[in-house]
Amino acid sequence: MIEAIFTYEFLQNAFLSGAIIGIIAPLLGAFIVVRRLSLIADALSHVTLSGIAAGLLLGQTFPALSAVNPLYFGMVFSVGGSLLVERLRNVYKHYQELAIPIMMSGGIGLGVILISIANGFNTDLFSYLFGSVSAVSRNDLYAVIGISIIVLVTVYLLYKELFVLSFDEEYAKASGIPSKAVHLAFIILTALVIAVSMRIVGVLLVSALMTLPVAAAMRIAKGFKQTIWLSVLFGEVSVIAGLISAFYLDLAPGGTIVVTSIIILLGVIFWKKEKN
């Protein structure tokens, strides 16, 4: 396995991208779970699928655009979806949770229309749905690296604000924290992470990588920082073990990564129960 990684560029791309995503997805996921916004990852992933389908369709229709990575269209749609979610949350101030199913439904509907126009599923789109080790290009890796740097720097600089906003939004506003600006920055970062994670995990499973490691960490962590560190640890184990399993068993990496996360979660729950 190690020899193959050094031999084949696509494996290097997949494992490096996966290792980075295993850090940034659970990192943001810790804040998402605490804020009870777990389903937003599902909503934005479906919007991202619409963007990728649009990119593939434009590539078919206009040959000049075929060289543009559909992932970039997915990023644009995902960020646009995150902004619309915030707009809808302001419209439905007393029922803010409605924004997520509205956006999810819109993303699925638009995606189905674009896919049907493009004459159904093809190999490229299938790899985005379930993830693919061989489909991760060097440009995808560069996109993951760039966004991960932005995520890590932002979380480091705004950790206090994000922490307060996650646990007590009213106190955050009263203490002078620009809650709207911080939340907007956070939701845009989440959208970008979801978009770049799709090559490895797939659109249908990307939310699991942001929530399952956090769910496992919350069972044994003694504080929020420990929850973050354990979430990242569990996320990394899930990604690496999932990618290795996908390589040897010739399976979609998204499924193996999520199943590994489920095994870790069940193991933690069982261990905690036995300990008590």
> With 90 as the cut, is the pLDDT of residue 176 above it?
no
Check residue 112 and give its pLDDT.
Answer: 84
Check residue 28 and give its pLDDT.
Answer: 93
Q: Cα separation of 77 and 96, whole Å?
A: 21
Q: Cα separation of 50 and 56, whole Å?
A: 10
Contact 195, 207 (CB under 8 A): no
| Per-residue confidence band for 131, with pLDDT thresholds at 50, 70 and 90 | confident
- Cβ neighbour number for residue 146 with a 10 Å cutoff: 12
- Tell me what percent of the chain is helix, strand and coil, each rounded to the nearest 5: 85, 0, 15
Contact 132, 251 (CB under 8 A): no
Check residue 235 and give its pLDDT.
Answer: 93
Q: Which residue has the tokens 């390589």?
A: 247
Position with higher pLDDT, 79 vs 198: 79
Which among 151, 131, 148, 144 is positioned nearest to 198, based on CA atoms?
131
Check residue 111 and give its pLDDT.
Answer: 84
Summarised one tens digit per residue, pLDDT across range 136-172 is 888 888 989 999 999 999 999 999 989 888 887 777 7
CA dihedral (119, 120, 122, 124) positive or negative? positive
| pLDDT, the chain, mean | 85
Token digits of residue 247: 């390589």
How deeply is 254 buried, as exposed, middle or buried, from its count of CB atoms within 10 A (0-12, 13-18, 19+)? buried
Contact 190, 35 (CB under 8 A): no
Asked whether the whole model's pTM tops 0.85, one would answer yes
% of the chain beyond a pLDDT of 70: 95
Q: Cα separation of 153 and 267, whole Å?
A: 33
Q: Cα separation of 59 and 67, whole Å?
A: 7
> With 80 as the cut, is the pLDDT of residue 3 above it?
no
**Mean pLDDT throughout 186-208?**
85
